[in-house]
Each structure stands twice: as structure tokens, then as C-alpha cells.
Amino acid sequence: MKPLTHTLLLASLLPLAPLFAQNPEPSPNPQSPRAEQQGQGRKKNHMVDHYLEKLKNETPEEYERLKTLRQENPQAFRLELRQKAYNKGAGGRRSVSQRGPHPLQEHIDAVKNADSPEAKQAAIVTLRAKIAEQVENNLAEREVAIEKFRKRLKQLEAQNENERAHESEIIDHHLQRLLKTIDQPTTSPPSSE
């Protein structure tokens, strides 16, 4: 009766195990508790370090400014990085000097510099064709990504359905593995007599 009680108690406490798990070594750069729980702290620091290293090579003055800001005012540093990331992802709220020339600048200049209405109209037709080409490429890339997501979703659905069908066996398997580790006698080092 005692082993059964022990097993039932262990099985009932198993879902609580993650709550009591301890991190053996503290993080060198403590993050918010939520970030630590999600394991995002180290990844974000790596991304920030990678960004700063890239900045160091491209614009050393900006790198030095951000490095100083990071040391003197970490909160302002994080806010500025968030704003930079937002502006980069917002599709062009960055200044022209940060963006560089437009990919179709040559065709835009052809429209601006056309010396006759006919030449301007021909340049507009060419510009429209180049824009259409870019839009088509973007749509095709997105469709490929969507198809990958669909395929992955089907795989996950099939895996989930399979595991649902075999849920009891999976539970028993995990329980047996845990019980084997519990039931194994602890070996003590041989005495030196």
C-alpha cells in the first residue's frame, strides 16, 4: 500500500514540478522575471549585442553614443532601441539618410528628368512595370511563407491528433520512466576498510 500511495502522491505533484525547478546558475544580466521565465533574456541580449557590433562597424559615432547611453541610462537605451526597431519595421519612418536610395531611384529619376511628355510617359510605364515586378516578388515570397506555415500547421495537427489518440500510453510511458528512477536503489560509495 505504501508504494501505491507514494506513486499517487508523486503523480499528483508532477504537474507542479516546473514551479519548483531552480536555475543552477544565475543569469549574468538579470532581466525581468517574465523574460527569464520565457527564456528570452539571453536571446534579446544577444540580439542587442549583435546590433551594436554591426553599428560599431558601420557608424562608430552612433555606436559610441549608444554604448554611453546604455551605461548611463539603461532605460533610455532600451527605449531608443525599441523605437529604432519599430521604425525599421514600420516600413520607412526612418530618415532618408538612414534608408539610403530608393531601390527604384534610377527609374524615379528617369521620370523626373524626362525632357518631353512622351519620354515622361514612357518612363512612368517603365516605373510601373518595375513596381509591379517588386509587388509580384513580395506576393510570391509571402505565398511561399504561407505555404510553409500551412505545412507546419498540418504536421502539428497530425502530431497532436496522434498524441491525443495515444494520450494514455504517453502518460504511462512517462510515469514508468519516472518510477524507474525512483525505484532504483541509491548506490553508496564502497567503504574503505
Name which of 131, 111, 108 is nearest 121 in CA terms. 111
Identify the band that residue 189 occupies on the pLDDT scale cut at 50, 70 and 90: low
pLDDT over threshold 90, residue 89:
no
- CA–CA separation, 81 vs 18, rounded Å? 33
Using CA atoms, how far apart are residues 67 and 47, in angstroms rounded to an integer?
15
pLDDT of residue 119: 95
Helices (DSSP H) in 59-104: which residue ranges? 60-72, 74-89, 96-99
Pure H helices in the chain? 2-13, 17-20, 33-38, 41-58, 60-72, 74-89, 96-99, 105-112, 117-165, 167-183
- d(CA 178, CA 138) in angstroms, rounded, equals 50
For residue 27, pLDDT beyond 50: no
For residues 161-190, give the mean pLDDT.
86
pTM for the full model? 0.40
Whole-number pLDDT of residue 76: 87
Residue 43: the pLDDT is 60
Average pLDDT, the chain: 78
Distance CA 166, CA 181 (A): 23
DSSP type of residue 184: S
pLDDT at 120 over 60: yes
